[in-house]
């Protein structure tokens, strides 16, 4: 048997740019926010020192207002669009102007358990994470649920959740540009031009107000309350709170944030689909989308029995769960990015949350499926949930991290299990 642990470690090493890790060479040549948190955790399974460095480098991109950007452009790379000249971020390092799901605090808590000697480094990172979480609480809430101001902020770039809000955006004047993603990967696996025009238009709108959040509220036509952000921030605050207590920090505001977000999560429950849904803040309407983000409630510490049947139905419809979009929906596309494929990183967040909450059968199924995807088809970005075919980019950092930290543990190949 090939040693998948050795392969996974090698991927992290190969994607290591010295202090930060690329998601994969070519397609994603910079530091991505939540990818980096996964990378930090993956490294901690065999090189904890390098794991802590990853988080520290991520926080060097933090803006004065607390925001931690979704991409940090440490070194120019002409192979990527939209780059620093388009985003015009105003942080200490060239960056994008939006954030990404805040999973870093949760991974930091895990790293601290795996490597208690890293405590001094965790203590130094903690206040920065708190500033970042506060930024979400200040600028992204709607009725306690966390909103995204750009589809890429949720990390589920072209999920069907955004379609209704995107349809309201006029991108006629977006101008000419050349995409780079479709020269690295088959266009059939990537978002369409219609979507891409709107992604770029939203960036132009952010630039037009110099990413001033107050002004952005008034001019940005896109605002969607999202289960990914709401559940990851809720979970991250629980972990931040526990670490803060241990470090002797003042945590009273974090306790309030947790209550607010719990109430906010409730506003995402859509009885019509029997699941947690995204909500278009401008129109007030639910989007009616059952996705893998709908299944993040357990990860957020909300053990909601109402949510299980729909997730079990999605699992039963696939050979390699969990799909990113309901296979019974009209727009389901098994190979297109966030409109169907199975994503190991989401499988990990959902599966580990279910394990914690005692949803054993579904958790075991998701973990075993995730391991099989990698055993059969290597460390791809995502996979067809029916056939397991690998798709998107290859030798992917966070997929390798999920093997090292979780998916590999129950398999025969336990040689490198932490």
Catalytic residues: 157, 381
Q: Which of residues 31-60 bind ligand GLC (CB under 6 A)?
A: 32, 34-35
> Quick one: 227 exposed, middle or buried, by C-beta within 10 A (0-12, 13-18, 19+)?
buried
Q: What element of type H or E holds 390?
A: strand 390-391
**CA distance linking residue 323 with residue 47, whole number of Å:** 32
What lies within 8 Å, CB to CB, of 314 at 6+ separation is 290, 321, 322, 323, 326, 327
Q: Which of 11, 16, 23, 374 binds ligand GLC (CB under 6 A)?
A: 23
Q: Which of residues 77-106 bind ligand GLC (CB under 6 A)?
A: none
> Shortest gap between Cβ of 361 and ligand GLC (angstroms)?
28
| Nearer residue to ligand GLC within complex by CB, 397 or 411 | 397
User: Is residue 226 close enough to count as binding ligand GLC by CB under 6 A?
Assistant: no
User: Is residue 153 close enough to count as binding ligand GLC by CB under 6 A?
Assistant: no
> Shortest gap between Cβ of 120 and ligand GLC (angstroms)?
29
Contact 410, 367 (CB under 8 A): yes
- Assigned token pair, 38: 């996964």
Contact 404, 18 (CB under 8 A): no
| Nearer residue to ligand GLC within complex by CB, 352 or 397 | 397
> Shortest gap between Cβ of 35 and ligand GLC (angstroms)?
5
- Assigned token pair, 238: 């629980």
**CA distance linking residue 289 with residue 326, whole number of Å:** 8
If binding means CB under 6 A, how many residues of this protein chain bind ligand GLC? 7
| Nearer residue to ligand GLC within complex by CB, 324 or 352 | 324
User: Is residue 28 close enough to count as binding ligand GLC by CB under 6 A?
Assistant: yes
Contact 252, 126 (CB under 8 A): no
**CA distance linking residue 401 with residue 326, whole number of Å:** 26
User: Is residue 29 close enough to count as binding ligand GLC by CB under 6 A?
Assistant: no
Q: x/- string (CB under 6 A) for ligand GLC, residues 156-195? A: -x--------------------------------------
User: Is residue 155 close enough to count as binding ligand GLC by CB under 6 A?
Assistant: yes
3-state SS, residue 143 = coil
Binding site for ligand GLC (CB under 6 A): 23, 28, 32, 34-35, 155, 157
């Amino acid at each position: 048997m090939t040693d998948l642990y050795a392969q996974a470690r090698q991927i992290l090493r190969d994607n290591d740019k010295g202090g930060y890790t690329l998601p994969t060479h070519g397609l994603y040549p910079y530091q991505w926010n939540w990818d980096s948190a996964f990378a930090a955790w993956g490294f901690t399974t065999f090189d904890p020192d390098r794991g802590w460095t990853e988080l520290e480098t991520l926080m060097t991109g933090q803006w004065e207002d607390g925001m931690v950007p979704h991409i940090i452009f440490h070194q120019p790379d002409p192979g990527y669009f939209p780059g620093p000249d388009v985003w015009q971020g105003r942080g200490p390092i060239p960056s994008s102007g939006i954030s990404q799901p805040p999973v870093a605090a949760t991974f930091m808590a895990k790293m601290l358990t795996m490597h208690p000697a890293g405590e001094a480094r965790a203590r130094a990172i903690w206040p920065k994470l708190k500033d970042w979480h506060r930024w979400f609480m200040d600028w992204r809430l709607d009725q306690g649920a966390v909103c995204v101001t750009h589809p890429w902020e949720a990390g589920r770039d072209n999920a069907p959740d955004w379609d209704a809000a995107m349809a309201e955006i006029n991108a006629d004047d977006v101008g000419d540009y050349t995409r780079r993603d479709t020269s690295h990967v088959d266009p059939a696996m990537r978002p369409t031009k219609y979507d891409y025009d709107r992604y770029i238009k939203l960036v132009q709108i952010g630039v037009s107000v110099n990413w001033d959040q107050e002004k952005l509220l008034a001019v940005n036509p896109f605002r969607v309350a999202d289960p990914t952000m709401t559940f990851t921030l809720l979970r991250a605050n629980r972990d931040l709170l526990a670490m803060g207590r241990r470090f002797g920090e003042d945590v009273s505001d974090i306790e309030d944030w947790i209550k607010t977000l719990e109430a906010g999560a409730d506003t995402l429950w859509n009885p019509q689909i029997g699941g947690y849904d995204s909500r278009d803040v401008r129109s007030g309407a639910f989007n009616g989308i059952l996705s893998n983000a709908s299944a993040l409630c357990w990860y957020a510490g909300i053990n909601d029995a109402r949510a299980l049947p729909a997730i079990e139905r999605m699992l039963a419809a696939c050979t390699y769960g969990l799909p990113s979009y309901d296979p019974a929906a009209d727009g389901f596309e098994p190979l297109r990015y966030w409109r169907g494929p199975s994503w190991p990183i989401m499988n990990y967040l959902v599966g580990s949350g279910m394990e914690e909450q005692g949803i054993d059968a579904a958790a075991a199924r998701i973990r075993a499926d995730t391991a099989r995807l990698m055993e059969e088809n290597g460390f791809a970005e995502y996979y067809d949930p029916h056939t397991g075919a690998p798709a998107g980019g290859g030798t992917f950092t966070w997929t390798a991290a999920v093997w090292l930290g979780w998916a590999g543990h129950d398999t025969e190949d336990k040689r490198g299990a932490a």
